[in-house]
Each structure stands twice: as structure tokens, then as C-alpha cells.
């Protein structure tokens, strides 16, 4: 057996904490992985759309800084996750390019969006990892849909144009289950579930060991502490002496996750750009559907945000009905998914962003996501995951950084 190289506490068992725990454990560290939930990967990382971002969705950032910040993580996602879970993602990846439908109230018009998409295409072609995406995108291009192609998807006058974009999504529930299996089987990982983290403080010097306080107990000291708490991150950072950079926001969103009795032939679509909706069909039977205003339950720019109170059955049904009505108005085909559904869950989670404002405001800083990443105070590190798609790539970066610390 390899000697243990050091003790590391990882706070938060979403995709960020889980990916880091697995890579650090495989490097020979003794990992304690803490989470307030009873099971790992139970929150936003299980219940999200799984778009593996290449930057197209951030067409309202003309500087392209968001696309540049997202692209490496997106391109490497498939390879890195396959290594983590020892399994190929192909059967759990959407099987066609995304269709972006431009709404007449889009904050960016179709012409301007098309020009930005061309710049993102160029970014991909120049990238060394372009062939390593979920599908090879080294020669792929976004393109405007013909009138007929658009008419095949929508007859709504609210949609004024459409694009085919070489972006894919993955079934996050399937990946969450695989990550849980690996976490439970790794000999160097101790799962500390049902453990709410309150604070992190140095035992003595900030470059030395750190102690984390868990509700109801004082935990041991660790050589390295990494905060991956997502919506709970900033409050713990403050106790650790890392002052959050002003300008963040938290939101809590609900969406529909369904499974049909038999395969349904409905393509993936994103209504762009603003507070609209998406459709994801991962494998013919598992799908995700959202209508943003219907599912947005809470927004805050405070340091922390509480989980919204549980809704009664009629409140939940109202959201389901609203999502269905709004999305089928634009993409009528989607009603087949609802008609064939054998399971329909209304689930979701928090979105943290180093940005604020309304999605319908083109000037809002929420349209930029170029600030996420790693922050550090001695042996305490804090990580803003940014996106689901960037977590495994950031875990690799963090692992390299931490191994240099020791
Ligand atoms: C509806 C929706 C759709 C999305 N779509 C996409 C998409 O298509 N593509 C994409 O890239 N991203 C998407 N995202 C964002 C994505 O889900 C997140 O970026 C990602 O899951 C964050 O991973 P994480 O591990 O940092 O956070 P999480 O998965 O939330 O993990 C954080 C963990 O910390 C725990 N925790 C928090 N506070 C405490 C505390 N004080 N003590 C103990 N434990 C605590 C939580 O229980 C949780 O398990 C979406 C998010 C939502 C909600």
C-alpha cells in the first residue's frame, strides 16, 4: 500500500468536490469529503441540464472572455469524467448538435448572434483539445438554419431565427450515480455526509494545518482544506479570512426531469438569449425541460441563501403546467415527451454567479462568467466551480496546485 501523502478536507460533495476527492485520493492523499446531504452529488450537480459549454450560450459577452474561460473545461470534460468514473459517456450524451432558437425578445438579434457564433467557432478550431470534446469539434461550425429547417422545429412567430451549434449535453443524473459508486469504492476517501460546515480556521499559521467546524462537532485538523460548497461557499470563506469579491448573486431554479416509456424523437433546443427555456433529450428516453421564469424560485445577492420552503402538490403542479405550456408553445413537438412520460420530476438547485442582474438586461453582469476559479489563503483553497462543465478540469488544476503545496 502507498503511504498517505497528507490529509485533505474537501467541503462539498457536488461534481467539484467529488472530482477533486477522486483525483486526490488516487494521488495517495487521505481525503475526508464533507456534505450536509445524506448522499454525495445530491444537489445542483445531479439536477441540471448538463450542457457542456463551449461558449455559445454567452453570446451577450462580446469580449468573448466568457467563451475563452469556459472552452478548455468544456473540451476536456468527456475525457476527464471518463477517467474519473471508468466509463464512457457516449450513450449518455445528446446525439445531435444543439438548435439555438432566437426569440424575438432576445437580448441579441440573430445577425449579431451569428457573428459571435463565428468567433466562437474560430476559438474552437484554434484549440489543441478540439478533437477531445464529446464529439470531435475541430472542424465543426455553427450555421444558420434554413427557413424549412426552422419551420420543422417551430411555427411560432415568437422565434425569428435559428442556428445549429456544435454543443452537446450529458445526462447529469447518470454521471452522479457513477461518481457516487466511485466515491464509495475509493479506499482513501472517507465520506462525512450529514455534516453541515460552519467555518474553517487555521490551527496556527495560515500555511500550516486548518480545522473545519462541523455543526455539532469539532473536526480534526487537515494539511489542506478545499471549499467546494457552491451556494454555501462564501459564508465559510469569510470565516477563513477570504473576503468575497463584491458582485455575486445566488438563484434557486427548478426544472423538469423526465423519462418516457419509449424513445421519443424530439431534438435538443435552447431558446436564446434571455429568460426563456431549453429542451434536452439525452438518449431518446431521458429528458430535461425548463422555462426559466416558471422555475426561478429565489434570487439573492446576500452572502448566503436559504433553500426555498417545500411547495405543496398544487404549487408544484402549477410550475409543471407552466413549463409545459410555455415550451410547447414554441416547440410543439415537445408535447410528445409529456404524453409519453412515465416519470416527471420537478427538481433543481442553486446557481451561483460572480455576476448580477436580470437575464433580460443585455448590460447585466450575469451575462459574463469569466471570473470563476481558484482562490487561496495559505493551505485553505476556495473554488468557484463556475459551471458543471468546468468542474473536472478545475479539479485537475487544483490537484496540481495542491500537490505543489505539499
Ligand atoms: C437548473 C440548473 C441548470 C444548470 N445547467 C447547467 C448546464 O447546463 N451546464 C453547466 O455547466 N452548468 C449548469 N448549471 C450549473 C451547475 O449545476 C453548477 O455549476 C455545478 O453543479 C456546481 O457544482 P458544485 O459541485 O460546485 O456544486 P453542488 O453540486 O451544489 O455541490 C455543492 C455541495 O455543497 C453542499 N453544501 C453547501 N453548503 C454546505 C455547508 N454549509 N455544509 C455542508 N455542505 C454544504 C451541498 O449540499 C452540495 O452537495 C445548472 C444549474 C442549475 C440549478
To which CATH superfamily is domain 7-44+176-247+369-405 assigned? FAD/NAD(P)-binding domain (3.50.50.60)
Every domain of the chain with CATH number 3.30.9.10 lies at 89-109+139-166+248-367
Residue 220: which pLDDT band, with cuts at 50, 70 and 90?
Answer: confident
Residue 230: which pLDDT band, with cuts at 50, 70 and 90?
Answer: very high
Cβ proximity of 358 and 366 under 8 Å: yes
Cα–Cα distance for residue pair 389/76, rounded to 1 Å: 9
Cα–Cα distance for residue pair 345/355, rounded to 1 Å: 29
Q: CATH assignment of 89-109+139-166+248-367?
A: 3.30.9.10
Cα–Cα distance for residue pair 231/250, rounded to 1 Å: 7
Asked if the model's pLDDT at residue 400 lies above 80, the reply is yes
Best of 200, 229, 235 for a ligand 1 pocket test (most atoms within 8 Å of beta carbon)? 229
- Give residue 386 CA to ligand 1 midpoint distance, Å: 9
Q: Which residues line ligand 1 (CB under 6 A)?
A: 12-17, 34-37, 42-45, 48-51, 53, 196-197, 228-232, 253, 255, 348-349, 351, 385, 387-389, 391
Ligand 1: which atom is nearest the Cα of residue 37?
47
Cα–Cα distance for residue pair 211/200, rounded to 1 Å: 6
Q: From residue 335, how far is each of 6, 265, 331 by CA, in Å? A: 54, 11, 8
- Give residue 333 CA to ligand 1 midpoint distance, Å: 30
> What is the length of the chain?
406
Burial class (CB in 10 A: 0-12, 13-18, 19+), 176: buried
Every domain of the chain with CATH number 3.50.50.60 lies at 7-44+176-247+369-405
Q: From residue 212, how far is each of 22, 78, 223, 238, 368 by CA, in Å? A: 20, 33, 11, 13, 32
Render pLDDT for 284-302 as a digit per residue (tens, 0 to 9): 999 999 999 999 999 999 9
Q: pTM for the whole thing? A: 0.98
- Give residue 302 CA to ligand 1 midpoint distance, Å: 17
Cβ proximity of 366 and 57 under 8 Å: no
Render pLDDT for 1-34 as a digit per residue (tens, 0 to 9): 445 689 999 999 999 999 999 999 999 999 999 9
Best of 14, 42, 248, 348 for a ligand 1 pocket test (most atoms within 8 Å of beta carbon)? 14
Q: Are strands 380-384 and 224-227 parallel, antiparallel or unpaired?
A: parallel
- Give residue 42 CA to ligand 1 midpoint distance, Å: 9
Cα–Cα distance for residue pair 147/172, rounded to 1 Å: 33
Render pLDDT for 236-284 as a digit per residue (tens, 0 to 9): 999 999 999 999 999 999 999 999 999 999 999 999 999 999 999 999 9
What is the grid cell recorded at 327?
A: 415550451
Q: Within the chain, what is the greatest distance between any pair of CA atoms?
A: 68
Amino acid at each position: 500500500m502507498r503511504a498517505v501523502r497528507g490529509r485533505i478536507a474537501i467541503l462539498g460533495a457536488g461534481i467539484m468536490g467529488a472530482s477533486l476527492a477522486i483525483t486526490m485520493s488516487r494521488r495517495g492523499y487521505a481525503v475526508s469529503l464533507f456534505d450536509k446531504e445524506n448522499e454525495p452529488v445530491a444537489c445542483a450537480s445531479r439536477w441540471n441540464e448538463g450542457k457542456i459549454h463551449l461558449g455559445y450560450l454567452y453570446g451577450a459577452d462580446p469580449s468573448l472572455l466568457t467563451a475563452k474561460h469556459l472552452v478548455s473545461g468544456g473540451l476536456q470534460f468527456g475525457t476527464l469524467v471518463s477517467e474519473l468514473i471508468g466509463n464512457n459517456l457516449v450513450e449518455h450524451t445528446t446525439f445531435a448538435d444543439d438548435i439555438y432558437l432566437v426569440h424575438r425578445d432576445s437580448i441579441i438579434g440573430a445577425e449579431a448572434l451569428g457573428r459571435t457564433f463565428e468567433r466562437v467557432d474560430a476559438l474552437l478550431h484554434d484549440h489543441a483539445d478540439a478533437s477531445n470534446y464529446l464529439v470531435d469539434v475541430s472542424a465543426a461550425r455553427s450555421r444558420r438554419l434554413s427557413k424549412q429547417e426552422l419551420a420543422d422545429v417551430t411555427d411560432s412567430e415568437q422565434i425569428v431565427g435559428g442556428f445549429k451549434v456544435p454543443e452537446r449535453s450529458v445526462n447529469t443524473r447518470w454521471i452522479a450515480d457513477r461518481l457516487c459508486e466511485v466515491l464509495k469504492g475509493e479506499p482513501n476517501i472517507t465520506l462525512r455526509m450529514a455534516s453541515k460546515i460552519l467555518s474553517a480556521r487555521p490551527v496556527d499559521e495560515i500555511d500550516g494545518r486548518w480545522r473545519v467546524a462541523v455543526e455539532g462537532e469539532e473536526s480534526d485538523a487537515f494539511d489542506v482544506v478545499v471549499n467546494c460548497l457552491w451556494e454555501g461557499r462564501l459564508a465559510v470563506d469569510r470565516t477563513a479570512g477570504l473576503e468575497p469579491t463584491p458582485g455575486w448573486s445566488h438563484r434557486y431554479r427548478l426544472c423538469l426531469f423526465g423519462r418516457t416509456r419509449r424513445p421519443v424523437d424530439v431534438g435538443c433546443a435552447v431558446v436564446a438569449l434571455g429568460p426563456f427555456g431549453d429542451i434536452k433529450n439525452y438518449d431518446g428516453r431521458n429528458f430535461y425541460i425548463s422555462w426559466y421564469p416558471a422555475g426561478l424560485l429565489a434570487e439573492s445577492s446576500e452572502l448566503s441563501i436559504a433553500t426555498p420552503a417545500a411547495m405543496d402538490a398544487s404549487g408544484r403542479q402549477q410550475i409543471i403546467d407552466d413549463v409545459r405550456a410555455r415550451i410547447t408553445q414554441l416547440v410543439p413537438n415537445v408535447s410528445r415527451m409529456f404524453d409519453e412520460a412515465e416519470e416527471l420530476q420537478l427538481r433543481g438547485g442553486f446557481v451561483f454567479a460572480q455576476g448580477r442582474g436580470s437575464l433580460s438586461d443585455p448590460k447585466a453582469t450575469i451575462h459574463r462568467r469569466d471570473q470563476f476559479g481558484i482562490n487561496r489563503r495559505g493551505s485553505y483553497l476556495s473554488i468557484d466551480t463556475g459551471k458543471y462543465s468546468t468542474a473536472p478540469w478545475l479539479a485537475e488544476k487544483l490537484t496540481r496546485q495542491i500537490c505543489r503545496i505539499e
